[in-house]
């Protein structure tokens, strides 16, 4: 049971409830309280966004935090059939980037590869905390480059003026486009551009899969 394991992990680092909450809040710009951790250790459900934070801090699987028992699953065939290069950043020529922009590789499950098409998937490492309710700093965003027609509120990888990379909720209107963060850090604010501004905006693709780089 994860409730017991969380307490064991915390105590193994000689951390009080207050100390762990303080570390998590500083590291992930969130607002976790002592009472929240206490409830989790007593078996209360944990939100997905917090599960990702706990998993990242203690270097365990989010599935384990959420209580999914995978110990009895027998693999009858490989679960991954596609390996994608991980790019350090977005750029206008995606996905035909230079070799020096590749910082590693990541395996993508069959279901994702088959659903969106193997040639349409692109993996890029996320930097920063502007979307940490959705995807944490250092995780890998996999986007579908065949899906660039904005549906308001969905998350897209975007290039602004050829060099400013971002992953945000996107809202497109007749006279402007707006980008909204989804973060525990209140310093991250929405921003927008009017159509008549001298701004080049390229939608690279829609976020379809999130992975942790375990390399």
The catalytic site residues sit at 130, 168
The CA-based angle 11-185-85, given to 5 degrees, is 85
For the record, the structure tokens of 211 come out as 């992975």
Dist. CA 140–CA 143, nearest whole Å: 10
Q: Where do we find the tokens 């209360």? A: 44
Q: Both ends of the chain: CA-CA distance in Å?
A: 27
User: Quick count: other Cβ atoms within 10 Å of Cβ 78?
Assistant: 9
Q: Can the peptide bond before residue 95 be classed as cis, meaning omega within 30 degrees of 0?
A: yes
For the record, the structure tokens of 156 come out as 């897209």
Nearest to 54 by CA among 30, 13, 33, 24: 24
140 φ/ψ angles, rounded to the nearest 5 degrees: -105, 125
Beta strand pairing call for 80-87 and 140-144: unpaired
User: Quick count: other Cβ atoms within 10 Å of Cβ 4?
Assistant: 11
Dist. CA 202–CA 183, nearest whole Å: 23
């Amino acid at each position: 049971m994860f409730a017991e394991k969380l307490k064991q992990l915390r105590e193994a680092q000689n951390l009080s409830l207050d100390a762990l909450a303080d570390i998590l809040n500083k590291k992930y710009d969130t607002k976790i309280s002592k009472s929240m951790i206490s409830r989790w250790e007593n078996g209360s459900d944990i939100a997905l966004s917090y599960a990702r934070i706990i998993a990242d801090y203690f270097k365990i699987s989010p599935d384990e935090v959420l209580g999914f028992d995978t110990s009895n699953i027998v693999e009858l065939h490989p679960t991954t059939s596609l390996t994608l290069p991980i790019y350090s950043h977005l750029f206008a020529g995606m996905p035909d980037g230079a070799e020096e922009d590749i910082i590693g590789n990541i395996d993508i499950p069959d279901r994702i590869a088959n659903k969106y098409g193997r040639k349409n998937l692109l993996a890029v490492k996320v930097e920063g905390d502007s979307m940490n309710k959705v995807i944490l700093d250092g995780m890998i965003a996999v986007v579908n480059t065949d899906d660039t027609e904005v549906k308001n509120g969905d998350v897209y990888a975007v290039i602004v003026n050829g060099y400013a990379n971002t992953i945000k909720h996107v809202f497109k209107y007749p006279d402007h486009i707006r980008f909204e963060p989804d973060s525990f850090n209140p310093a991250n604010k929405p921003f927008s551009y009017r159509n008549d501004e001298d701004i080049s905006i390229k939608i690279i693709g829609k976020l379809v899969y999130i992975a942790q780089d375990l390399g």
